């Protein structure tokens, strides 16, 4: 059986290399989060003032969960970490149970999302000859 990869370079990384990539991306995520007043306050209370405070993947435990109520309390732009001009897509809830929730996406977010979905589809064994409906 032939194993198909979407991004073989990343999908077959050895454990040590994978940990380095994960740490780098976790630090990048923290830097973005710190641009918002909500996460700056929340992360500062957890002892995280900058990406450098994340020393290993184990530090993920320091990061508090975000709840649906947090999303509602920050409506509409309280969690936006980029300029509104960078936003190319918005997902919102209807707000039927209270304040709506909103998620903003940049082009880069959508590119990453597309890549992850493609990776998931390929990992199921799908190929160019298959038809996929989402």
Are residues 13 and 21 in contact, defined by beta-carbon separation less than 8 angstroms? yes
Query: What is the predicted pLDDT for the residue at 133?
Result: 83
Residue 7 to residue 115: CA distance in whole angstroms = 9
Q: What is the pTM of this model?
A: 0.84
Question: Interior CA angle at 123 toward 118 and 129, to 5°?
Answer: 70
Residues 6+ apart with CB under 8 A from 20: none
Element (H, E) at 121: helix 107-123
Render each residue's pLDDT in the chain as its tens digit; 134 residues.
Answer: 788 999 999 999 999 999 999 999 999 999 999 999 999 999 999 999 999 999 999 999 999 999 989 998 998 999 999 999 999 999 998 888 888 889 999 999 999 999 999 999 999 989 889 998 87
């Amino acid at each position: 059986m032939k194993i198909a990869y979407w991004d073989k370079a990343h999908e077959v990384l050895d454990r040590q290399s994978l940990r380095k990539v994960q740490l780098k991306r976790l630090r990048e995520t923290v830097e973005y989060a710190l641009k918002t007043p909500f996460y700056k306050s929340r992360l500062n209370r957890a002892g995280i003032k900058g990406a450098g405070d994340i020393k290993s993947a184990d530090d993920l435990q320091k990061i508090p969960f975000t709840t649906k109520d947090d999303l509602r309390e920050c409506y509409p732009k309280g969690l936006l970490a980029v300029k509104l001009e960078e936003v190319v897509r918005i997902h919102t809830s209807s707000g039927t149970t209270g304040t709506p929730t909103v998620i903003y996406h940049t082009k880069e977010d959508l590119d990453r999302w597309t890549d992850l979905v493609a990776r998931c589809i390929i990992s199921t064994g799908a190929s160019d000859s298959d038809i996929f409906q989402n």
